[in-house]
Chain A
C-alpha cells in the first residue's frame, strides 16, 4: 500500500494559515515529508502542496482535519500517475579546471542549468521529480558538494481539469 501521498490544498491567503496547517499536523502527530506554498492566479488564494506519509485510514483523517480549518478551501489528492510533480534543487559543487567540464556534462544530462560560476565552484539549478534529483546529486557527490537546497514538491493534475472547479462561496444567515 502506498504510504506517500501528495495533497494539493487551496487556502485563503490569511495571516497564520500556514501555522494552522503545520500546527494541526504536529498536534495530531501526522507526518509531513514536504510542504510548498505560493500564490495562485487569485490573490486571495494560496496553494499548498503537501507530501504526507500516511496509511489510507490516517490519510482520510488528515484530509478531514484539514477540511475543518476555516481557511482551507479545497483539498485534492493527486494521483502520481495522473499528475506532474516537480521539485527544484540548487547545488553548489566544487569545480576546478580539471573537473569543471565533467560537472557541466552531468548537468546537461539532467537538463540542469549552471546558474553561477566561480573560480572553484559551480552552482547548478535542476528541476524534476525526487528520483531524478537524487540521481544527479549522487553523481555530483564525488566532486564535493559545498551546499545544496531543495524545494518541497509542487504538483498539478494532468489534463484540463482544475482544482478550483466548483468551489464557490455561498451566503449563510448568521442569526
Chain B
C-alpha cells in the first residue's frame, strides 16, 4: 500500500500503541497534521511547545509508557530543549517528533530552519534526522524502543517536510535491530550472590532507593526484598512512594532537604544497597564525606552510573526490577531451605536507632491556630483532602520540597516532579499529561509555586479545551521562595529580585478568565472548607490559591557543597552557627 510519509508517522504511532500525543502544528509539520484528523489517537493542543514536552513527560512519569509530542521545526523544536533536558536528567521515556525544512533546503538558513539534531544531541538519549521516506517507520520504531528500554530517556526524530510528503510502500515489522544498543537486563548471578553475602554481614544496612525503581515499576519487588531482610529504606526525591512512607522500615528522603533520620542513616550506615540511584550531589552533599563508613552495592541499568561518583564494592548492571526478582528468588530458595536467617543482617539495634531518630527529629511546623497559613500546613491539607489515591505533581522550589517531605507517599508514580534539572514551570503541563495518562478515576493535583506557575500557566487553556480536570494548587508566598531562602541564609538577607507581588496576577480573575472555578485560602480557618469545595468539583480543572506565610523556609537543610553532617534543622540553628563562627 502506497502512503505518504506523514501517514506513515501516524500508522507507526498507532502500531506502537500510542493513545495520545501532545503537540502544536506549524509550517514544516503541516503534512503530519492532515492525516492526524483520522489517526487512532488523541491529540492535545498545547499553548507552547514546552508544554507539549512536559505533558509528554508527565504522561510517561504517571504511566511508565512513552510520552509522545509532535511540533514543527525551528522555534518549536528549540522550545523542546528544556523538556528534553529534563527528561534526560530524570530518565523519562519521551518521543519527540519535529518537522524540519525540506531536505533540499537544509543548510541554507531557510525559514524556521534549525539544526535540531545538532542542538539536541547532548540532551537526548538518541536522535535522528530522517533522510528518506522509507526510513520513517524504522526511525520511529527504533526511537520508541530506545526511549523506553535500558535507562529510559528522550529520543527525537526530525523529519523534513518533503519526506513527510513523499510516498512509500507501508511495511511494518514489530522487531528492531540495533547493533550498537543492547541494554543489559539480567544481573550477573555471581554478583547477586555476593550482594546477599555482603548484606548478611552488615549491621547498619540501608536501601538507597532511587528513581530507577519507579521507572522499572519495581514497587512490589522492592517491598518483598526490603521486608524479607528487614532493611530500612530511604527513598530519594525521584523515588518517593516506591516504598510506602507508612511502613515501619521507611526512613524518609535523603539529601539537601531530606528527613533528618534519612540523612543520618546515610552518614552512619555500613552498607548502602543502592537501587536505581546515582549518587546525585543533592543527595550526597560533599561527596568526600558522604556515607563515610559504607560499603556500596550498586544496581543500575546504566553501567556508566556505576562507579561514576562513588567507588562500588558490588556492582550489578541490570534492570533493577529484574535484579530484585533475582535477589528475591535466591532469598525465596533460602527461606524454603530454612536458611533465610543466615542472610538477614543483625540490624535490630540499627532499626531501633533510626526509629528513635525519626521520633526525636520530626519535621517542624509552627502553625498558629488563627490567621496566616503556613505553606507546609497548606500542603498537608491538600493531602488530607485528595488523599492517597491522588497523584501529586510539583514544580521546583520550596513548595516542591515541602510536598516531597510532608506527604506520605505509598506507591511509585504517585509523586511526579523535576528532580535532576530542576525545571521551574514543570508542574502545570506535567500534571495535565499525567491526568491524561491516569484517566478519570485518579485525581491529579498539581502543587505549584507562584513563580513556577507563572512560567507555564497558559496550558490551563489546554486542560480546559480538552476536558482534563486537573487540580492546580498554587502555594503563593509572593516570592521566589527558595532563592529568597538562600539569599536570607547565605547572602546576609540581601534580597535581590525575588519579590513577585502576591496579587500579580490576581489568580481568581485568572481562573475566571479561563472559565474554571477558582478558590483562595488566606487564613487557617477557611482552609478545610475551601478545599472541600474545590475537591467537590471533579469534572473540570480547578485552581486553588493559598496565600501563605512568605517567611517560611525549608528545613532540614544541608548548605550547598557542605557535608551531610552539617544538616541544619531550623533557621535558629543556622543563625546560632553563623554567630558562633563569627565569634571564633
On A, residues with C-beta under 8 Å from B are 11-12, 15-16, 19-20, 23-24, 27, 57, 60-61, 64-65, 67-73, 167-175
Contacts and interface: CB of A to CB of B under 8 A. Distances in A.
Contact of A23 (B121, B176, B178): B121
A12 B180 contact: yes
B17 A15 contact: no
Contact of A57 (B125, B176, B180, B307): B307
A68 B121 contact: no
Contact of B178 (A57, A169, A175): A169
A64 B315 CA distance: 14
B517 interface: no
A15 B122 CA distance: 15
18 contacts: A16-B117, A24-B122, A27-B122, A61-B304, A68-B125, A69-B180, A70-B180, A70-B181, A73-B180, A170-B177, A172-B175, A172-B182, A173-B174, A174-B142, A174-B145, A175-B16, A175-B144, A175-B174
A171 B176 contact: yes
Contact of A71 (B118, B144, B180, B304): B180
Contacts of A168: 179
Contacts of B182: 170, 172
B122 A23 contact: yes
Interface of B: 15-17, 117-118, 121-122, 125-126, 129, 131, 141-142, 144-146, 174-182, 302-304, 307-308
Which are the 10 A-B pairs with shortest beta-carbon distances?
Answer: A64-B304, A169-B179, A171-B175, A70-B126, A73-B180, A174-B145, A70-B181, A174-B176, A27-B122, A169-B177
A104 B302 CA distance: 55
Contacts of A65: 304
Contacts of B141: 174
Contacts of A23: 121-122
Given A68-B302, A174-B142, 15 more contacts: A12-B179, A12-B180, A16-B129, A23-B122, A60-B307, A61-B307, A70-B126, A70-B178, A167-B179, A169-B177, A170-B182, A172-B175, A174-B144, A174-B145, A175-B174
Contacts of B17: 175
B175 A16 contact: no
A71 to B, nearest CB: 5
Nearest to B307: A60
Contact of B308 (A61, A69, A169, A170): A61
B122 A173 contact: no
Contacts of B145: 172, 174
Q: Determine the main DSSP class of A at the interface with B.
A: mixed
Contacts of B307: 57, 60-61
Contacts of A167: 179
A24 B123 CA distance: 11
Contact of A15 (B126, B129, B302): B129
A12 B175 CA distance: 19
B121 A72 contact: no
Given A64-B304, A174-B144, A19 B176 contact: no
A16 B118 contact: yes
A169 B304 CA distance: 22
Contacts of B174: 173-175
A39 to B, nearest CB: 17
Contacts of A60: 307
Given A16-B117, A19-B121, A173 B180 contact: no
Given A174-B141, A174-B176, A70 B308 contact: no
Contacts of A173: 174-176
Contacts of B308: 61
A114 to B, nearest CB: 41
B122 A174 contact: no
Contact of A172 (B122, B131, B178): B178
B420 to A, nearest CB: 15
A174 B139 CA distance: 12
A129 to B, nearest CB: 31
A69 to B, nearest CB: 7
B147 to A, nearest CB: 11
A57 B182 CA distance: 23
Which among A11, A69, A171, A174 has the highest number of chain B CB atoms within 10 Å? A174
Contacts of B142: 174
Which among B129, B131, B144, B178 has the highest number of chain A CB atoms within 10 Å? B178
Nearest to A57: B307
B16 A174 contact: yes
A115 to B, nearest CB: 35
A175 B142 CA distance: 11
Contacts of B179: 12, 73, 167-169
